[in-house]
Amino acid sequence: MTRADTLSERQEYLRGGFAELACERCAAVVLVRKSSPQQTSVQWTTAAARQCVTELGALVPTCPGLRASIDQAVRTGRLEVP
């Protein structure tokens, strides 16, 4: 994959309402979008999944540090909730 491909893919996510968020525990950067207060979409990049210290599940990677970071971002208004 070229760098241009990576960039356009990234911009696509950002346009789709995803925000970049760094896990406070492992500093992995993932793309997060809140579609409702209860629903959170997290897009893991390959690099982020590799960096996260948590043993990631095969289908739905979760990291306790990331969850806390998302809550924090919602509280501070960094992450928009519709």
Residues that bind Zn ion (CB under 5 A): 23, 25-26, 52, 63, 65-66
Query: Least distance in Å: CB of 27 to Zn ion?
Result: 8
Query: Least distance in Å: CB of 2 to Zn ion?
Result: 28
Q: Pull the structure tokens for residue 45.
A: 């990049």
Residue type, 12: E
Residue 4 or residue 20: which is nearer to Zn ion going by CB? 20
Residue 2 or residue 66: which is nearer to Zn ion going by CB? 66
Concatenated DSSP letters of 18-56: -EEEE-TTT--EEEEEESSSS-EEEE--HHHHHH-SS--
Do the Cβ atoms of 30 and 41 come closer than 8 Å?
Answer: no
Residue 22 or residue 36: which is nearer to Zn ion going by CB? 22
Query: Least distance in Å: CB of 63 to Zn ion?
Result: 3
